[in-house]
Amino acid sequence: MKEIKIAVLAGDGIGPEIMAQAVKAVDKVAAKFDYKITYTHAVVGAAAIDAVGDPYPEATHQTCREADAVLFGAIGDPRFDNNPEAKVRPEQGLLAMRKKLGLFANLRPVNTFPSLLHRSPLRHDLIEGADFICIRELTGGLYFGRPQGRSEDGQTAYDTCVYTRAEIERICRLGFEYAAKRRRHLTVVDKANVLATSRLWRETAKAMEKDYPEVEVDYMFVDNAAMKIIQQPRHFDVIVTENMFGDILTDEASVITGSLGLLPSASIGEGTSLFEPIHGSYPQAAGKNIANPIATILSAAMMFEYAFSDMEAGAAIRRAVDLSIEKNIVTEDIAPAGVKPSTTSEVGDFIAANI
């Protein structure tokens, strides 16, 4: 029997509801593949601010450090949005978690489900067969650059984008390695015609090409990449890019699948890896049992594959997810016209029962 410890950080909004469905799937995998799982629950985001005044408390950090993997739901609460009186924001908890755990890379796979092609606003012939992965740098760039702030009169604001060669080499190496395992095509996305940091990105990646002669590398400005992801998504195999560009491009890429509720992600680095859906906390749906849990359940599949090197366990979850979509056991965001949507918990129950 394989013993593993999982830190469960449900977070805010729909987080607790979708996390409950992922745990159902993990429990079923544990029974089927002979795992003994110990869950430790911890607070993060607005829930943590309400509890202890800190969006990522030290106790939560210790729970994550001691775990073999972290399953994370969502962060965000409208009480803190555009609120000048808020001294701390829930989203700061996610940034702190990434920084403290050394999670420098976010992996976001983008691929289509044949039975859901009709849900995408893009033409079938453009998106059918799309299958690529975005690797986003997570701990540098504008989101972490200093100095950052506003002038005393409040009329000027500033952020600083900072990257070191070592940070770029670290994330690009991951991009080259993933491309070598896939279709051997890496796209480096930057804005080297304008930004000094992007020029360092391109210079660093070019110097690394000789170490991966089997990988074809192309370089693309971020505005061009944004167009090509929509116009020719099958062009891409592995994309590697900096923090803010990756944040924007991966949300854009979600339209290929037809719903943000379908896309999982993994954040990996120096310590415990974290697995989470790419969507936010969707506070309007909290407590209504209507949110799509599939991205969180697929994040659990990635957890078994990346954290525990158990491709068979991950595949069992993926097959059950595919079946739920084929049978239209899905929530309202992807339910076909004329089909009664299932609730969040009904989707979770169906997927768990079919693992």
135 touches 249 (CB < 8 A): no
Are residues 57 and 165 located together in one domain of the fold? Answer: no
pTM across the whole model: 0.85
247 is catalytic: yes
Are residues 126 and 242 located together in one domain of the fold? Answer: yes
Given a cut of 80, is residue 85 above it in pLDDT? no
Structure tokens at 169: 């080499």
pLDDT band with cut points at 50, 70 and 90 for residue 88: confident
Query: Helix or strand or coil: residue 184?
Result: coil
At which of 257, 279, 302 does a domain end? 257
pLDDT at 49: 94
Q: Which of 32, 81, 206, 223 is catalytic?
A: 223
Within a domain: 218: yes
Are residues 137 and 219 located together in one domain of the fold? Answer: yes
The closest alpha carbon to 173, from 131, 211, 221, 133, belongs to: 211
Given a cut of 90, is residue 95 above it in pLDDT? no
159 is catalytic: no
Within a domain: 114: no
CA 143 to chain centroid: 16
pLDDT band with cut points at 50, 70 and 90 for residue 112: confident
Are residues 248 and 283 located together in one domain of the fold? Answer: no
Are residues 81 and 209 located together in one domain of the fold? Answer: no
Residues contacting residue 350 through CB under 8 Å, at least 6 positions apart: 320, 323, 324, 327, 329, 342
Beta bridge partners of 277: 264
Within a domain: 35: yes
pLDDT at 111: 87
pLDDT tens readout for residues 119-170: 788 888 889 889 999 999 999 999 988 898 999 998 999 999 999 999 999 9
Provide the CATH number for the domain around residue 19.
Answer: 3.40.718.10
Given a cut of 80, is residue 329 above it in pLDDT? yes
- Distance, first Cα to last Cα, the chain: 19
Are residues 302 and 342 located together in one domain of the fold? Answer: yes
Residues contacting residue 103 through CB under 8 Å, at least 6 positions apart: 97, 138, 139, 267, 268, 269, 270, 271, 273, 274
Q: Which of 191, 237, 310, 333 is catalytic?
A: 191
- Dihedral of alpha carbons 283, 108, 264, 262, sign: positive
Q: Which of 247, 282, 310, 333 is catalytic?
A: 247
* pLDDT higher at 263 or 222: 222
Structure tokens at 336: 């076909």
Number of structural domains found in the chain: 2
Are residues 156 and 279 located together in one domain of the fold? Answer: no
Within a domain: 162: yes
At which of 237, 257, 277 does a domain end? 257
Are residues 137 and 206 located together in one domain of the fold? Answer: yes
Structure tokens at 196: 């000094």
Within a domain: 92: yes
Strands 35-41 and 2-11: parallel
At which of 206, 228, 257 does a domain end? 257
191 is catalytic: yes
Are residues 276 and 199 located together in one domain of the fold? Answer: no
Q: Which of 56, 143, 163, 178 is catalytic?
A: 143
Are residues 294 and 252 located together in one domain of the fold? Answer: no
Are residues 182 and 299 located together in one domain of the fold? Answer: no
Within a domain: 116: no
In angstroms, what CA-CA distances link 152 with 134, 146, 149, 157, 205? 39, 17, 10, 10, 40
Are residues 62 and 164 located together in one domain of the fold? Answer: no
pLDDT band with cut points at 50, 70 and 90 for residue 350: very high
Q: Alpha-carbon distance 334 to 298, whole Å?
A: 16
Within a domain: 109: no
Within a domain: 108: no
pLDDT at 313: 97
- Domain residues for the domain of 32 are 1-103+261-355
pLDDT band with cut points at 50, 70 and 90 for residue 254: confident
34 is catalytic: no
Query: Helix or strand or coil: residue 159?
Result: coil
Tell me which amino acid residue 326 is. Answer: E
5 is catalytic: no
Alpha-carbon radius of gyration of the chain: 20
